[in-house]
Structure 1
């Protein structure tokens, strides 16, 4: 089909609950844009200017419905004083942590809220957003989760031990992480103005493979609620959350305690059934997902096209609306033809005419 709306028009109408021409596609592409622009991951991650140009080329090539984004892996590790290496080989290597910001409970007292203008990760993200703003595009930030920041500060193994042995230390770090997220929101409002800043949240550490529902309730829910409340007061719309992995046993907390704003986009990995998720949250929420990254990276265009078709036919008429996405951030070495196949499936099978 030929699109009847621009990507911006389509997404705006979807959020408002109005009729759209077809299912939108948000590919969550990060360093994939580097691959198709012949940049190394190191060049992409360390140079916001190059990352911006790569994102523009990628959006123009694929004509997707998502925004221009710049995710810097281990940015919080860098911001809080950890050491991160950006390998030169292989070409598309992810950053590697060589030292976490703190190694013991006693070192928590030395943690300070980073200065966004000078922190290694945050300053690059700020630069990217300034380029976006100067080019008339949206400004977007991460609103957490705070647990992700704590994981960056102490590492996953230490975090899991401290849940049991040092729960007060985990709470202290979560308070620091929450304070940093709130400080970031306030800084961006002062820099770009109310109404010009949006945010998203991602929750890989909170999945049930890592923590129990009771741990989620005790260690995550209070801080998530605080961030949502403060960002709402600041005028920053948290338009989407990504439930990475299996969060089935946490859903009651999202619905009954956290209470996301209506028309929030909730995306999820392949571990969760999209129809069940949609039925649970109801028609006030948009659901997104969840073409497997393994298919996108390792499969053929025909296999991607077929998997996307099945998801579309299952979710096309979800009352709250639906967005086709990968199950997580698009893998860097995904073949361009496979991403094209996913987007083509939305045009071929996702029309509402």
Structure 2
């Protein structure tokens, strides 16, 4: 089939409340793109230029609508003085923490919030390289600005941090406050350098999912810092934010709904929930104002055939494509780095087969 819109035109249509020729495809293809250029996954994360080049090549090869971005679930530890390992080893899929900067409650007091007016901290050096390349081409600048809760859970030892929520809540809040301040400093740096109107920052993480904490704990320890970050995004003039509440966050949805209500923000969220959250539930909660994303279980791209994936994606498209404020087909978390290219092609082919508006 002839595609009448280019990928940028298709994204612009959805984000501006218009109807594109077909549903956009956002495969969340991060580490996967390293194989397109033969870049090692470790170099992909260690070098922002290589990270951009791999993602941009994958975009052009497959024809999907996703913009290059830089980030990973363990971001935060390096920025606060810890150590990470890049995924050069067999079976490794993303950077992981080698040394936590916080091992005891007393360590929290010693932490200094990274100052973006000096040398950029940790992975933000690489994020800035990628942002610069995106800005040169007029692509959105997509930088990680959350979540404070997930970042705090890797700055400290995760099991210790979770225990502090119950046993030492004051210490947990102290750490969360410092992490939140780091993300606000990041927002200020990137908004000033590239223009808030050109940003598509992203927030979200797995540690606040209901598999780890209750909705009540989310309200106490995650929500206040999320609201602080998003209020700041609103105040500096950011128009849209990619939200990825990873894993099972169904019981947290009322708090995400409350976020917009309490901020009074006129901007647009792009919601990418994990495969645990049905598309119809996303539409019910957010469809009146925001873009919702189809959320194909990433493991299926490793286990299912091309033909079956076209039908699985097609069903998701049919459930979501008429959401009032827009829909995109996506993987429910990162597209598997080792998946075969034909499995990603299944998403594009499903969009052509089932997702045409004309």
Tell me the TM-score normalised to structure 2 length.
0.93
Q: Displacement, 1:14?
A: 1.1
Residues 75, 151 of structure 2: 8 Å contact kept: no
Q: Displacement, 1:74?
A: 2.8
Structure 2: unaligned runs, 5 residues or longer:
none
Measured on the aligned residues, the alpha-carbon RMSD in Å equals: 1.8
1:237 aligns with 239
The count of corresponding residues between Structure 1 and Structure 2 is 353
Provide the rounded CA distance (Å) in 2 between the counterparts of 1:310 and 1:334. 21
1:265 aligns with 270
What's the CA shift string for 1:256-277, capped at 9, x where partnerless? 3553655321111111111122
Provide the rounded CA distance (Å) in 2 between the counterparts of 1:194 and 1:254. 22
Provide the rounded CA distance (Å) in 2 between the counterparts of 1:49 and 1:248. 36
- Runs (4+) of structure 1 exceeding 4 A deviation are none
Provide the rounded CA distance (Å) in 1 between the counterparts of 2:195 and 2:325. 30
1:201 aligns with 203
Q: Displacement, 1:33?
A: 0.7
1:9 aligns with 9
Q: Give the SS at the match of 2:50.
A: helix
Provide the rounded CA distance (Å) in 2 between the counterparts of 1:108 and 1:72. 22
Residues 297, 334 of structure 1: 8 Å contact kept: yes
Residues 146, 178 of structure 1: 8 Å contact kept: yes
Summarize the Cα distance change of 1:16–1:135 in structure 2 as closer, same or farther, 3 Å threshold. closer
Residues 305, 345 of structure 1: 8 Å contact kept: yes
Residues 24, 65 of structure 2: 8 Å contact kept: yes
What's the CA shift string for 1:273-324, capped at 9, x where partnerless? 1112212334222210211111112222112111101111222222222110
1:312 aligns with 317
Q: Tell whether 2:248 aligns with 1:246.
A: yes
Q: For 1:55-204, what aligned pairs fall within 5 Å after superposition?
A: 55-72=55-72, 74-90=74-90, 93-116=93-116, 117-204=119-206
Summarize the Cα distance change of 1:43–1:66 in structure 2 as closer, same or farther, 3 Å threshold. same
Residues 287, 321 of structure 1: 8 Å contact kept: yes
Q: Tell whether 2:358 aligns with 1:338.
A: no
Q: For 1:207-218, what aligned pairs fall within 5 Å after superposition?
A: 207-218=209-220
- Segment of structure 1 superposing worse, 199-208 or 112-121: 112-121
- Segment of structure 1 superposing worse, 324-333 or 281-290: 281-290
